[in-house]
């Protein structure tokens, strides 16, 4: 058994080394849109850091990449987006969930772009003094996928998953590029961006928490871009996707305790999770219920899972596990 594990790890090391050797070739030739692979760094047994130059944003973007145990060739890709975390916060999919432990055994490549906090992963109308130049929709639908397909020799089939802020983004990106993503997971978000509730959520996320000016994103409240990016209004474009929608009630449940490993006895952190996290999750629950009802009206199947709990990582890990089998089946893993 130990010999088999050692052999498997040796084979994986060779595969990762082979991927890393692609860097000079890819760097030398830019894509038609001007984006190119900058470099690849190996971070762990199944982990790569892949750096891609975005011509649309004129900067290099880092991606965490998890490679399956069986190698990446011919595998589908799941793109996982961050929520509204600050750059200095060590809070992300790999650190706050068991993704590193379970994903490599599932036959799915995982790509996690960095740097989109507070941006809604959309194309902003103007550069922002705090958040800079943001053309995330262009990057995620046009620049990044062909480069990742080439680096990983993927099957070309993709899923996208978002939580909190990026739940809205995952739905909107799937509507904007329906042929790119076959499965969409939306955890604890608000698809609405043009309703009063949705606009308040965007303002809280982008301006209050992220420090950006929402008018630089979509113009003044009520401008056409707010409705154009409203995934609820354009829910008919989600037809044909495998959809998973989840949100907590805002009321405490199993992960809202001092013994939860993410709380680890930190009483002030738990209080924040119960108060701030409870209020935010109650709002996203209302938004998610609206979207589920709209999809039902349109006859579009969706796995809608309301549950107890606050706006916190324990529940998002639960949602990731609940969505993963259907997601993997939809993208051919």
In the 8-state DSSP scheme, what is residue 41?
E
Helix (H, G, I), strand (E, B) or coil at 260: coil
Q: How far apart are CA 80 and CA 144, in angstroms?
A: 13
Structure confidence at residue 108 (pLDDT): 96
When mean pLDDT is compared over 203-207, 209-213, 279-283, the highest value belongs to 279-283
Indicate if the pLDDT at residue 183 is higher than 70: yes
Structure confidence at residue 85 (pLDDT): 73
pLDDT band for 70, please (50, 70, 90 cuts).
confident
Q: For residue 40, what are the β-bridge partners? A: 50
Indicate if the pLDDT at residue 15 is higher than 70: no
* Averaged confidence pLDDT in the chain: 89
Q: Edge to edge, what strands does the sheet with 47-54 contain?
A: 36-44, 47-54, 59-66, 109-113, 77-80, 158-163, 181-187, 242-248, 303-307
What is the mean predicted confidence (pLDDT) over 153-163? 97
Domains and CATH numbers, the chain: 1-156 (3.40.50.1820)
Instruction: Report yes or no: 195 and 115 within 8 Å, Cβ to Cβ.
Output: no
pLDDT band for 92, please (50, 70, 90 cuts).
confident
pLDDT band for 218, please (50, 70, 90 cuts).
very high
Indicate if the pLDDT at residue 249 is higher than 90: yes
Q: How far apart are CA 325 and CA 333, in angstroms?
A: 9
pLDDT band for 162, please (50, 70, 90 cuts).
very high
Whole-angstrom CA distances from 320 to 43, 195, 315 are 23, 28, 9
Indicate if the pLDDT at residue 89 is higher than 70: no
Residue with tokens 């772009």: 113
Whole-angstrom CA distances from 328 to 103, 162, 242, 270, 292 are 11, 16, 10, 33, 22
Tens digit of pLDDT for each residue in 39-57?
999 988 889 999 999 999 9
pLDDT band for 87, please (50, 70, 90 cuts).
low
Tokens representing 76? 């589908």
Helix (H, G, I), strand (E, B) or coil at 129: coil
Tens digit of pLDDT for each residue in 120-144?
999 999 999 999 999 999 999 999 9
Structure confidence at residue 181 (pLDDT): 97
């Amino acid at each position: 058994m130990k010999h088999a594990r050692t052999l498997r790890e040796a084979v994986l090391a060779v595969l990762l080394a082979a991927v890393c050797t692609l860097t000079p070739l890819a760097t030398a030739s830019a894509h038609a849109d001007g984006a190119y692979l900058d470099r690849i760094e190996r971070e762990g047994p199944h982990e790569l850091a892949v750096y891609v130059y975005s011509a649309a944003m004129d900067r290099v973007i880092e991606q965490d990449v998890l490679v399956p145990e069986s190698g990446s060739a011919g595998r589908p890709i799941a793109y996982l987006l961050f929520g509204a975390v600050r750059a200095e916060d060590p809070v992300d999919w790999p650190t706050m969930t068991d993704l590193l432990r379970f994903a490599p055994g599932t036959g799915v490549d995982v790509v996690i772009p960095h740097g989109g906090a507070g941006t809604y992963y959309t194309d902003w109308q103007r550069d922002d003094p705090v958040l800079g130049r943001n053309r995330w929709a262009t990057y995620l639908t046009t620049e990044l996928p062909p480069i990742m397909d080439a680096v990983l020799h993927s099957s070309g089939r993709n899923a996208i998953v978002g939580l909190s802020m990026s739940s809205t983004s995952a739905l909107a990106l799937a509507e904007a590029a329906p042929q790119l993503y076959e499965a969409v997971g939306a955890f604890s978000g608000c698809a609405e961006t043009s309703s009063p509730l949705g606009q308040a959520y965007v303002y809280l996320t982008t301006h209050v928490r992220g420090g950006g000016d929402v008018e630089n994103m979509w113009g003044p409240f009520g401008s056409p871009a707010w409705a154009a990016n409203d995934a609820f209004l354009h829910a008919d474009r989600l037809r044909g996707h495998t959809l998973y929608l989840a949100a907590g009630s805002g009321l405490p449940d199993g992960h809202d305790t001092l013994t939860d490993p993410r709380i680890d006895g930190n009483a002030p952190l738990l209080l924040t999770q119960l108060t701030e996290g409870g209020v935010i999750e109650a709002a996203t629950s209302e938004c998610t219920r609206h979207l589920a009802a709209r999809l039902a009206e349109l006859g579009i199947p969706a796995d809608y899972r309301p549950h107890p709990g606050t706006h916190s990582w324990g529940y998002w890990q639960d949602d990731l596990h609940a969505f993963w089998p259907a997601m993997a089946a939809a993208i051919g893993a």
